[in-house]
Amino acid sequence: MYLPLRSWWVDDVVSINVRREDVMQPASALDRAGRRRSPATLATFHQGHAPHNKGQRYPPDPPTVEEIIAVMRTAGDDADGVRLRALIISLWRAGLRISEALALAETDLDPGRGAILVRQGKGGKRREVGMDRWAWEQLQPWIELRKTLPVGAFFCILYGSTRGHRCGPAGIRAQLHRTAATAGVRRRFAPHQLRHAHAVEMSREGVPLVVIQRQLGHAELGVTSAYLRGIDNTEIIHAVHERPTPMIPATARLTPDA
């Protein structure tokens, strides 16, 4: 008995197409919905290419209070803006690293005690930091909005199939950069600059160095001392700026005799 030619040809074409799709569409190249992902989202996209900023070092340059407030105002009142303001508050008033802030869970915040639990600090170290009352008031709008989203990371994705999942640092950095540019801030505005601002402000307020060390999560006191020496030159500038006027004998003259 012979199979109809058309039936055999169709089955063969289907099997060939299935095999071709299996080879050309590996599981890692598809998103959760089975759609083809952009090559830029794959880990191998930048393989073999050095980052454009490799070897470039940025000097410590903490923003002023006026600049930070300007960025927060420019962020807007939509969900993205409320989240960005909350993240700025966490980095600026608690001195968190960007990785520590994005790793926070909703249960890591204790507004009653004014404490934030950092479960995964640098080197995997766990610590608890404090944050002032004004900062908790500014954080409250995001806390209320976060309750309407799926359970997950405190600073989470707002839209799409990954709603409620942890935000990526690259997107946050880009959003900070765009908002700062719109606010007219004419300096680099990065997450770590806000951590610098936190350290400088605590030092100027007379907070003991050992408290600043524990707040920032530095392993040794010498690291904190060097950290502040590199970004806070207030004492040096003040001492030099307040030097007395140079004195000369009363008989001397600034202009030569005619």
CB-based contacts of 130, cutoff 8 Å, min separation 6: 94, 114, 115, 116, 215
pLDDT tens profile 177-231: 999 999 999 988 999 999 999 998 998 898 999 999 999 999 888 888 877 876 7
Classified as helix, coil or strand, 90 is helix
Chain segment 65-83, per-residue pLDDT in tens: 999 999 999 999 999 999 9
CATH class of 65-237: mainly alpha
Average pLDDT over residues 152-163: 92
Handedness of CA 226, 230, 234, 238 (dihedral sign): positive
pLDDT value at position 86?
Answer: 97
Note the pLDDT of residue 253. Answer: 66
The yes-or-no verdict on residue 236 having pLDDT over 90 is: no
Closest CA to 80 of 160, 180, 172, 188: 172
Given a cut of 90, is residue 8 above it in pLDDT? no
Whether the per-residue pLDDT at 11 is higher than 70: the answer is no
* Better-predicted residue by pLDDT, 25 or 166: 166
Do residues 22 and 148 touch, judged by C-beta distance below 8 A?
no
Distance from C-alpha of 66 to C-alpha of 74, rounded to nearest angstrom: 12
3-state secondary structure of 51: coil
213 contacts 224 by C-beta, under 8 angstroms: yes
pLDDT of residue 256: 65
Q: What is the pLDDT of residue 59?
A: 65
- Please give the pLDDT value at position 255: 66
